[in-house]
Amino acid sequence: MRFKLISLMLLFCLSLVAKENSEEQKIKLVLSINVDQLRTDFLYEFEDLYSDNGFKRLLSGGRLYSNAYYAFEHIDRASATATLMTGTNPYVNGIVSGTWLDRTSLRLIGCTDDSKQKGLYTNDAVSPIKLKAITLTDELKIATRGKAQVCAIAPDCDVAVMAGGHTPDVVLWKNDDTGYWCSSSYYGAFPSWAANMNKKLVGRSSEWKPFFPTEIYENYGDDAPKAFNYSFNGKNDIRLYKTSACINEEVNEMAVACLRSGDMGLDNITDFLSITYYAGNYDMQPMENRPIEVQDMYTRLDGCIAKLLEEIDRRIGLQNVLITLTSTGYVVEGDDDNNLYRLPSGYVHIDRVAALLNVYLSAVFGKAQYVDGYHNEQLYMNRRLIETMNLDKLDVISHAVEFLKSMEGIEDVFTIYRLGGLLSPELQYVKNGYNANCSGDIWLRLMPGWKMAKDAASASNLVRRSSVFFPMVVWGGGVESEVIEDMTPANLLVSDLARILRIRRPNDNCLRMFK
């Protein structure tokens, strides 16, 4: 009896030691997987097509927030990525979208534009200078005194720059015109391994056809599913290529090359690899027009994740890796069938709105050009003119709001005057997407089913972004497997990651609200 008791005590002590060692397991690599336009409903709808080592592995083995969302309006890939990495909304981080109107020149500028830099394998001069908040990767660099390796790889410049933060070692994206992977002088010399990959990848022909026999895929229309076969030759049609499953396979190749180029994840200093995949519609066509392509996109993406995890496991060991799976939280809508089914819909032509508003304000306050410009759903007022005419800006804006609310297709109108003081959750949601340095004076919210057109000629080709719930996964790092179905703001993710990594949260990050 005494022997059994001693044995049990020894086993208990050994289990405590094992548990302590497990808890102290050093995280050697953080793998951030962000998928542009990944959505929860599609992820589960196509799960019969997946292997056990991709999506299913992450969804079942980590903490899954099944209803994550971004707590602001007019989401795009730039504003979403900036929010993910900083834990702050555009109101703080300054990235309201990929582009906005510059008040001085009245020209569109990009969120990454920086004329002081030089492009590497590109003519675009970019940096994260317009990102006004610190990212999780910046904090990791500070915590490791600059020793942590940080690399961000994405199909597009805005996402790559936002994912990399202010202090990365490598930031790469694919040039829309040449097909080369490129970077900026802001990040130092172009990596030799990336230059070697350019020699290998540029000029290579790619083909995209169904991974499975056509009958394996679901039929979402009256006609039987039709097979497809798309070819992309070298430097042609890069923008179209980026909406195909081929871009994800190329991102994977770049990520593997990055891992193999040095000692990332092999020492006791935590490194960070951020990659961005694409899961939107091919050629911006709705699922009804491309049902097989959408399913195959998710199928092949599942395969890309499985291959990358296999490579990391073989090289580093997944027990040493913390993985996140996130989405940009929106979908691009193509032409729809609202007219076919007689659903409420229509187009609001922003150029007509601006012109009519200017006529109205001229009738009230005197003839002048009161609207300086417009972009997306925002109107920029001529502040200098209003001041020169000795008009009360609030009075002018109030008249503009009342006029705009009477226009067909406009559900609501917001201004900074309306968003002061204590706000309801809905108004706070609107304010989160505003930034004083780049947002307009007036923002329009359209009626459900309506779309914004820049002018009459663009209506037939217009696409609109709509926010969606998406899955957010934290896998590894001692995180237990569980599913949280509560609505969870995506900007809370960095708090959880900072706690796991035992580093400081990025500045201005909101309080941690996870369990």
Residues in the chain: 515
361 occurs within a structural domain = yes
Bridge partners of 205, per DSSP, are 233
CB half-sphere exposure, 159, CA atoms < 13 A:
23
The answer to whether residues 399 and 484 belong to one domain is no
The answer to whether residues 484 and 426 belong to one domain is no
- Mark which of 414, 433, 462 sits at the end of a domain: 462
96 occurs within a structural domain = yes
Burial 9-37 (b: 16+ CB within 10 A, else e): eeeeeeeeeeeeeeeeeebbbbbbbbbbb
Residue reference for tokens 């003119």: 385
Residues of the chain with pLDDT under 70: 1-25, 221-223, 234-236, 334-343, 454-465, 508-515
The answer to whether residues 280 and 157 belong to one domain is yes
Residue 384: which domain range? 346-462
pLDDT at 23: 45
135 occurs within a structural domain = yes
The answer to whether residues 430 and 314 belong to one domain is no
415 occurs within a structural domain = yes
Our separate counts of H helices and E strands in the chain read 16, 22
**Per-residue pLDDT tens digits for 73-108:** 899 999 999 999 999 999 999 999 999 999 888 899
Q: What integer best gives the mean pLDDT of the chain? A: 89
- Mark which of 414, 440, 462 sits at the end of a domain: 462
pLDDT at 463: 52
Number of domains in the chain: 2
CATH code, domain carrying 448: 3.30.1360.150
- Mark which of 435, 462, 489 sits at the end of a domain: 462
The answer to whether residues 294 and 442 belong to one domain is no
pLDDT at 510: 53
Cα 201 to Cα 181: distance, rounded to the nearest angstrom: 9
The answer to whether residues 472 and 416 belong to one domain is no
Query: For the residues of 132-173, what is the DSSP string, one character each?
Result: -S--HHHHHHHHTTT-S-EEEE-SSHHHHHHHH-SS-SEEEE
The answer to whether residues 129 and 249 belong to one domain is yes
Burial 106-124 (b: 16+ CB within 10 A, else e): eeeebbbbbeebeebbbeb
pLDDT at 145: 97
Taking residue 319's Cβ as centre, other Cβ atoms within 10 Å add up to: 12
448 occurs within a structural domain = yes
Cα 33 to Cα 49: distance, rounded to the nearest angstrom: 20
The answer to whether residues 227 and 89 belong to one domain is yes
- Which amino acid is present at 466? S
pLDDT at 332: 83
Backbone φ/ψ region at 334: left (φ over 0), alpha (ψ -120 to 50), beta: beta
pLDDT at 10: 40
The answer to whether residues 224 and 140 belong to one domain is yes
pLDDT at 117: 98
| 261 close to 174: Cβ distance less than 8 angstroms | no
Strand, coil or helix: what is 108?
strand
Three-state SS letters, 60-98: HHCEEEEEEECCCCCCCHHHHHHHHHHCCCHHHHCCCCC
262 occurs within a structural domain = yes
The answer to whether residues 397 and 286 belong to one domain is no
190 occurs within a structural domain = yes
CATH code, domain carrying 497: 3.40.720.10
pLDDT at 440: 94
Backbone φ/ψ region at 29: left (φ over 0), alpha (ψ -120 to 50), beta: beta
Tokens of residue 23, six digits: 């808890």
pLDDT at 24: 53
The answer to whether residues 456 and 473 belong to one domain is no
54 occurs within a structural domain = yes
The answer to whether residues 376 and 296 belong to one domain is no
